Structure 1
Amino acid sequence: MNYNVIAFSGSLRKESFTTRLVKAFAQLAPQHITVSYIDIGQLPFINEDLEANLPQSVLDLYETIEKADGVIFATPEYNRSYSPVLKNAIDWGSRPEGKNKWKKKPVAIVGCTPYSLGAFGAQNHLRQSIMYLDMVPLQQPEFYLGQAAEKFDAAGNLTDDATKKKIQELWEAFASLIEMHGGKK
């Protein structure tokens, strides 16, 4: 069976290591999984006043989430937390109240930083929101990529074989989680 996974980068920076990581996950995905990168830079800030007449970017997000069999959230780390742009997308997906689009979606949380901890604090903070939204998180293996600047070439391609192996290990576990939950919910 083929599955559709949507992937979010919590960084809007043009040369973002987090976005490069998302692209590496897409390139190394198993053949039966299609990964779609979701650009969240055009979403308005969460505002309940907009719920009466939702912007098209939010409606597009809803449709994308509903069609997905699984989700990858890739985050940088800002002050031991995940990024505001990722929080905004997650919040929109949980609205309006009582209409949580994330519910029961299998999710993998990954992160990277140019420093040594690989977004450990951000990922753990993000897990709190994921659990509250009743998503199904991949528990193991965890994925923390430190020293990200050393893992990609100038064109943004992942060059580190050890990291590629870790991505493949995560995919093996995540594909099993998606299959166990039967795809779209």
Structure 2
Amino acid sequence: MSAIKIAVLIGSLRKESLNHKLAKALERLAPHEFSFEHVRIDNLPFYNQDFDSDYPPVCRQLKEQIKSADALLFVTPEYNRSVPGVLKNAIDIASRPYGASAFAGKAGAVAGISVGATGTALAQQHLRNILAYLDVPLMGQPEVFVKYSDGLIDQDGNIGVESTKKFLQEFVDRYVDWVRRHVHT
């Protein structure tokens, strides 16, 4: 089977981001033919509709990186019960102008980790609403709302708790099947 390229959008800019660790853990559980490319979102200007007639180069680069991917993986924290602004801004840039979304038709999944008891449930629900509008077919189950604890996942994506590893492997296996059903390779 030929390689399948996944664009990974992480909604956190923090150096020690838990969601970056989770993304790496998910990547490590995927088969070798899946390659993961983290999409840079920390260098983007705030979306402005004036871009629609002449996108800045960094915005064009974002759109091209997403367009060239076969599928999408969103890994996000929850800020004030919603999607972090930096992730929403990247989505707004890559989905505009109307009718020229880089996301349309690309299979995706959403996951997140937090120190809070409810994980990232509300942020993920908001993100799912946004992505549904943008014509991204999202995997529905299993939902991944991981509550972080020390030793759960290290910087390299190694998972230190066997039950978490098993659950995340089930998520990745379903995601792999989901992507394969939607990608024509």
Q: TM-score, normalised by structure 2?
A: 0.91
**What is the CA-CA distance between 1:159 and the residue it aligns to?**
2.0
Q: TM-score, normalised by structure 1?
A: 0.91
2:62 aligns with 61
What is the alpha-carbon distance in structure 1 between the residues aligned to residue 17 and residue 68 of structure 2? Answer: 27
1:136-164 per-residue CA deviation (whole Å, 9 max, x = no partner) reads 00011111101354513477643222222
Partner secondary structure for residue 8 of structure 1: strand
Letter in 1 for 2:17: S
1:125 aligns with 126
**What is the CA-CA distance between 1:182 and the residue it aligns to?**
2.4
Indicate whether 1:79 and 2:55 are aligned.
no
What is the alpha-carbon distance in structure 1 between the residues aligned to residue 18 and residue 122 of structure 2? Answer: 17
Indicate whether 1:70 and 2:71 are aligned.
yes
Assess, with a 3 A threshold, how the Cα gap between structure 1 residues 11 and 85 changes in structure 2: closer, same or farther.
Answer: same
Indicate whether 1:138 and 2:142 are aligned.
no
Unaligned runs of 5+ in 1: none
Moved runs in structure 1, 4+ residues, more than 3 A? Answer: 153-158
Unaligned runs of 5+ in 2: none
What is the alpha-carbon distance in structure 2 between the residues aligned to residue 91 and residue 117 of structure 1? Answer: 26
Q: Kindly indicate whether the alpha-carbon contact (under 8 Å) linking 1:3 and 1:183 is maintained by their aligned counterparts in 2.
A: no
Partner secondary structure for residue 108 of structure 1: strand
Partner secondary structure for residue 14 of structure 2: coil
1:102 aligns with 103
1:60-113 per-residue CA deviation (whole Å, 9 max, x = no partner) reads 111111111110111101121111111111111111121111111111000110
What is the alpha-carbon distance in structure 2 between the residues aligned to residue 127 and residue 60 of structure 1? Answer: 24
Q: Kindly indicate whether the alpha-carbon contact (under 8 Å) linking 2:78 and 2:84 is maintained by their aligned counterparts in 1.
A: yes
1:152 aligns with 153
Assess, with a 3 A threshold, how the Cα gap between structure 1 residues 183 and 75 changes in structure 2: closer, same or farther.
Answer: farther
Assess, with a 3 A threshold, how the Cα gap between structure 1 residues 46 and 36 changes in structure 2: closer, same or farther.
Answer: same
Count, aligned residues: 184
Assess, with a 3 A threshold, how the Cα gap between structure 1 residues 80 and 52 changes in structure 2: closer, same or farther.
Answer: same
What is the alpha-carbon distance in structure 1 between the residues aligned to residue 107 and residue 89 of structure 2? Answer: 19
